[in-house]
Amino acid sequence: MLWFFCPANQIAQMIQERTVSAVEVLEAHLTQISKHNAKLNAICTLDEEGARQQAKLADEALAKGENWGMLHGFPITIKDIFESSELRTTAGYKLLKDYIPQQDATAVARLRAAGAIILGKTNPAELAGDFQSKNNLFPASTILGT
């Protein structure tokens, strides 16, 4: 599984060339998240089932000769300050703890249009007001070993 440590563009190319499947890439990411996120608190919202469904569809599309774009089937997380349809967006702010947007932010829409699979949201500073991930909804992110 040395491919796991390759740059994103190389992994995306490997998915498109069917050297590795989108499902395999996703499962490798989910394994790392389950192994480390309890300590890191990096991912505040995880959409395992939605991402698994999209990865399966990505592999099926490639088998039919369809290509969704340069990030076809590549799993990605986005900061929890960017709205994402059907996925909670809190901006680390208590009043938004259950907010599910109707549409994607432009950056998220462009990632999806390029074929990326939104795996989840990463822990933000409250209302993006700091560079640290301090907010009143989730534990602060940490660095391994600290």
Q: Beta strand 117-122 with 43-46: parallel, antiparallel or unpaired?
A: antiparallel
Q: Model confidence over 86-116: pLDDT tens digits? A: 899 999 999 999 999 999 999 999 999 999 9
The per-residue pLDDT of the chain, averaged, comes to: 94
Q: At 3, is the pLDDT very low, low, confident or very high (cuts 50, 70, 90)?
A: confident
Distance, in Å, from the CA atom of 113 to the CA atom of 143, rounded to the nearest integer, reads 32
Residue 115 burial by CB count (10 A; 0-12/13-18/19+): exposed, middle or buried?
Answer: buried
Provide the 3-class DSSP secondary structure of residue 138.
coil
pTM of the full predicted structure? 0.91
Is residue 145 scored above 60 in pLDDT? no
Answer yes or no: is pLDDT of 2 > 80: no
Which residue stretches of the chain are H helix? Answer: 8-16, 22-40, 48-63, 106-113
- The answer to whether the beta carbons of residues 123 and 138 sit under 8 Å apart is yes
pLDDT digits (tens, 9 = 90+) for 20-38: 999 999 999 999 999 999 9
Percentage of the chain surpassing pLDDT 70? Answer: 97
Amino acid type, 140: A
Q: Which residues contact 71 (CB under 8 A, 6 or more apart)?
A: 8, 12, 111, 114, 115, 116
Q: What is the pLDDT of residue 131?
A: 83
Least confident range from 62-76, 87-101, 120-134: namely 120-134
Dist. CA 52–CA 49, nearest whole Å: 5
User: Where does the pLDDT of residue 144 fall: very low under 50, low under 70, confident under 90, or very high at 90 and above?
Assistant: low
Confidence band (pLDDT; 50, 70, 90) for 133?
confident
